[in-house]
Every structure is written in structure tokens, then in C-alpha cells.
Amino acid sequence: MKKVLEHTTIGEHYIVEASGCDPEIIGNVEKVQQILIEAAKEANVQIWSVSFHRFYPNGVSGVVVIAESHISIHTWPEVGYAAIDIYTCGDNALPEKAVEYAVERFKASHVHITELTRGVHDGDNIFYHTLTTWEERPKEAKV
């Protein structure tokens, strides 16, 4: 009988290209910060630290450091683009909920998502990752 190996993973890493975002939202440091803090709560993770900065004349960059890793963003309001990075580990984190929450609140019209399953190993502690990528058009943002 052939033995089937079980894979173990360390974390999930979502790389999100959000196009067609509302420039008034992604250009406002307070709004972007609040959305990512709420996205972290949606993901069921513990927030440790928050740091955001508005660039002149446009753009916001920031990070929410969480016990399970991080949620970060860089925005270009002049072209309606937000680059979002969500990396979590642990059995209770729900990173896909953070992605869904953020792209809806930024009012993205088109989203390209790459999901990296990181720290995959077969019990030998030799780590690798797997990659899945897809595109979607989010539902209308909830207000």
C-alpha cells in the first residue's frame, strides 16, 4: 500500500492588485487605516501595531502588524490602484475575509489575487510554497 504524505503549512499570503478603487478613499490615510484595521478584525487576528503615512501629493502606505504576521498597503489614488499584502499564520486566521472586506470598502472594480500557501512541508522541515492566482469583479461595496 502506497503511503500518502500529509502536507503541513505555516501560513497563507494573499497578494492583491485592486484596480478601479475610489480615489477619495484610497487617498485618505485615516480611511485606509480604518479599513485595514477592520479587515484585520474580520480576519480574526490580533492587532499589535499600526503605522500609516500619507505621501504628498498622493498615496498612502501602511502596515497593521498582527500576532499572525501583517497586513500592508500602498495606494496610487491618481490611477485608482491599491497593492494589498495580507500574510497570516495560525489555525484561526481568516485572511480571505480581510481581502474581501478591504476590496469592497475600497470599491475596487477589478481584483487580481495571488494566494501563496507558505511554509509547506511534508514532515521533513524542507519548506516550499504553492501558488494559486485568479481574477474577480467584487460585489458592490456595502456602505
Which residues are part of the catalytic machinery? 69, 74, 89
Q: What amino acid is encoded at 57 in this protein? A: P
Q: How far apart are CA 90 and CA 118, in angstroms?
A: 12
13 Cβ neighbours under 8 A, 6+ residues apart: 85, 86, 87, 115, 116, 117, 118, 129
Of the candidates 71, 73, 69, which has an alpha carbon nearest to the alpha carbon of residue 89? 69
